[in-house]
Structure 1
Amino acid sequence: MTRARILPILLVVCGSAGATGLLFGGNPGAATVFLLVFALLAGLNSPLVFPRSIGAAEARDRSAVDHRPVVYWRPGCTYCLRLRLRLGRSARRLHWVDIWRDPAGAAEVRAANEGNETVPTVVVAGRPHTNPDPAWVRAQLPPSG
């Protein structure tokens, strides 16, 4: 099991256990709401919310051709989730690298952040930007055509 799936699985297991307790306590409505909240939290903390990740080398190569920013992220990161949600549909136009799946991506993030794996780190035109404003990232996208 990869690190990316541990938190969502724990959220589902805890939500199921809590909902079961509420259900046996005679409160099916609260059990349903409890389970739905935990399922939503699990979904938001899973890699499924993000566009498909690629390797750091492939992202660099693609970015050199199409001039789109590269976003280094990891599942469970609140700031990464904030960036992803605030970018909306524009997020699909960036190149996403999951640093927990790609050691080269993690190394690039550490090199850009004084040895720390601080994400999201967005690389635009070869320059890293740590936890940038989503509106700024959107402005860095080349015009769609």
Structure 2
Amino acid sequence: MVRVWILPAAFVACGVLVAAPLLLHGSPGAAVPPLVAFVLVAWLNSPLLFPRSVGSAEARRRSATDGRPVVYWRPGCTYCMRLRIRLGRRAGRLHWVNIWRDPDGAAVVRAANGGDETVPTVVVAGRPHVNPDPGWVRAHLSPSE
């Protein structure tokens, strides 16, 4: 749980370190933009950007029921952020598994990627696809969704 917040906390700390000297020298207007930028980058690298994660077993069960893809991801992954952002509101229609919180999910990803934890790994109809194009993932959501 703590591991997923290390990178966002580091970005916030860097923002504070950049803004503090500017504040101490009487330049609050100059301190705000870098602090806001670092907080934004921290948010982009946090689990808050992603829909709520479920366990791997639960995601597979739900996928078998509703046919929606399962996305295995981890915080701080640039490609996972790209997929999440490009899916927009449709991202909530997929089942997301944070491999840093779910050892079974990490095992599924390693099995699909020859021992590597390469994410995002999207499982559609039982077949894993590593770092697929977001348009391809959108195409695998049912039209009624």
TM-score bracket, normalised by the shorter chain, equals over 0.9
Secondary structure of the 2:10 match is helix
Which whole-Å CA distance do the structure 1 matches of 2:61 and 2:29 have between them?
51
Which whole-Å CA distance do the structure 1 matches of 2:50 and 2:144 have between them?
20
Q: Which amino acid aligns with 1:4?
A: V
Q: Deviation of residue 25 (structure 1)?
A: 2.6
Within 5 Å, give how 1:1-145 maps onto structure 2: 2-144=2-144
Q: Which amino acid aligns with 1:23?
A: L
Secondary structure of the 2:80 match is helix
Q: Please list every run of 5 or more consecutive structure 2 residues that lacks an aligned counterpart in the other structure.
A: none
Cα deviation, 1:111-134, whole Å, max 9, x if unaligned, reads 000100000000000000000000
Q: Deviation of residue 22 (structure 1)?
A: 1.4
Secondary structure of the 1:123 match is strand
Cα deviation, 1:83-126, whole Å, max 9, x if unaligned, reads 00000010000000000000000000000001000000000000
Secondary structure of the 1:75 match is coil
Identity %: 70
Question: Which 4+ residue blocks in structure 1 deviate beyond 3 angstroms?
Answer: none
Secondary structure of the 2:62 match is helix
Q: TM-score scaled by structure 1?
A: 0.97
Q: Deviation of residue 29 (structure 1)?
A: 1.7
Which whole-Å CA distance do the structure 1 matches of 2:71 and 2:80 have between them?
9
Which whole-Å CA distance do the structure 1 matches of 2:30 and 2:67 have between them?
49
Q: TM-score scaled by structure 2?
A: 0.97
Secondary structure of the 1:21 match is helix
Q: Deviation of residue 144 (structure 1)?
A: 2.3
Secondary structure of the 1:129 match is strand
Which whole-Å CA distance do the structure 1 matches of 2:107 and 2:25 have between them?
50
Which whole-Å CA distance do the structure 2 matches of 1:57 and 1:67 have between them?
15
Q: Deviation of residue 27 (structure 1)?
A: 2.4
